[in-house]
Structure formats: structure tokens, C-alpha cells
Amino acid sequence: MVPSASTRQAVGFWFDDIVMKIPLTDCGGGKVRSGGGQGLGLPVNVVNRLFCQYRVRSEQFEDEHNMNLRDRLSTSLKDAMRAKDATRLMTLRLINAAIKDRDIDARAEGNETGVSDDVLLAILSKMVKQRQESARAYEEGGRLELAEKELSEITIVEEFLPRQLSATETEQVIADAIAESGANSIRDMGKVMGILKAKYTGQLDFGKVGGFLKVQLS
């Protein structure tokens, strides 16, 4: 498999200039490029090793990119158990417990597959917000070790959230949502929030968005 352009960029490897000049051979049971590497000025074994490492990293990236959120969480939990990473393991178990609670409620209402990815993202966003509030409270109370623990958990939870929109991007998507909904008063705020939640769950702090909308629509 030749990795996609986005994957090549993501793993930070100058693929076309080096790897694509090397002929194919076996590496760990799969076809990769090796051999002469003419013009590279590198020994054959070095070139082979570079490509093998690149291939593994590329396929790992593709696999993770294509995993759904539940699979990513499950894989990360297993990795944390193998690594004996106590903080990460505890945080991932808290995430799974929160999801399980919502799944139970969903199944009680007839949804046998559990909650959707949008709901999962909302759960994760709520966990981040709760920990941000706790961290601020601990910092204000001088309990810096507890604040650091909350911040560490935030970092882990945010791995499973989409990239947060910048302030400029947030202003733009809010303006677009207002235009799309035709909102012109505070009574239309629900319409705007509905559009934003459908498109940007996990990427916006909706508490702050709500305050901004009240100003914009008043």
C-alpha cells in the first residue's frame, strides 16, 4: 500500500524524494521498497530500515485515522494497560464508564447500538469542561498538584476530540450559522445552536458560544 498524500505529510517523511526511488522487496511480510537507492548516498540496509519504519508508521496512522471513536478508545485503553500508565488508564476508564451509562439509557429507549459519535463527542467535551472548572478551582485554592492532575486528564480526553476552532474560526462559523438560520432575535438562538451542534460538536465551547449569541442577537 502506498500511503496517501495526507498520511505522508502527517508522518513527516520526505516520501517522494527518498522512498519512491527504491525498488520493491519484502519487509515483515509485506511489499516495500529497498535495494540500491541510487543517488541517495545511503547504504542499502539503512534505506530498507527507513522504509520499513515509514511503512509501519504510515499504516498505523491510516488505521487510527479510519477507526471510529469507540475503537480508538478501546485500543488506547489496551495500550495504557500494557504500558501500565496509571493516569491514562484511569482517565480512559472514566470515559468508558460515562459512555456505558449513556449506552444503557439509549438501549432502554430501543437504540440497541448505543449512542452516536455525536453524543460521544458531547460526553468528552463535558468531561473537558468539568476538569477545566476543577483545575481553576484547585489553582485558586493553591492546590496545584490536584490542578495538574485535572490538566493531565484534559490532555488525554482531548486526544479523542476534533481540533478546537480558533477564535477567528469560531466567530466565522457563528456568523454563518446565524445567516443560515435567518436568526434576527434572541428567540432564534435555539435554531443557531442547533446548526452549530450538528456541525461542530467537540470543536466549540457551547457555553461561551451561548453568551456570544446572546450579545449578537440582542
Domain 69-158 belongs to what topology?
A: Hypothetical Protein Yqey; Chain: A; domain1 (1.10.1510)
In the 8-state DSSP scheme, what is residue 146? H
Residue type, 164: Q
**pLDDT single digits (tens) 70-103:** 999 999 999 999 999 999 999 999 999 999 999 9
**Is the per-residue pLDDT at 16 higher than 80?**
no
- Please report how the helices 69-83 and 117-140 are oriented relative to each other, as an axis angle in degrees rounded to 10: 50
Domain 167-217 belongs to what topology?
A: Arc Repressor Mutant, subunit A (1.10.10)
Mean of pLDDT values over 2-8: 46
**pLDDT single digits (tens) 162-193:** 888 888 888 899 989 999 999 888 888 989 99
The domains of the chain are located at 5-66, 69-158, 167-217
Q: What angle do CA 50, 55, 56 make, to 5 degrees?
A: 105
Indicate the burial class of 124 (C-beta count within 10 angstroms; 0-12, 13-18, 19 or more): buried
**pLDDT score of 49:** 60
**Is the per-residue pLDDT at 2 higher than 60?**
no
**pLDDT score of 83:** 93
**pLDDT score of 54:** 54
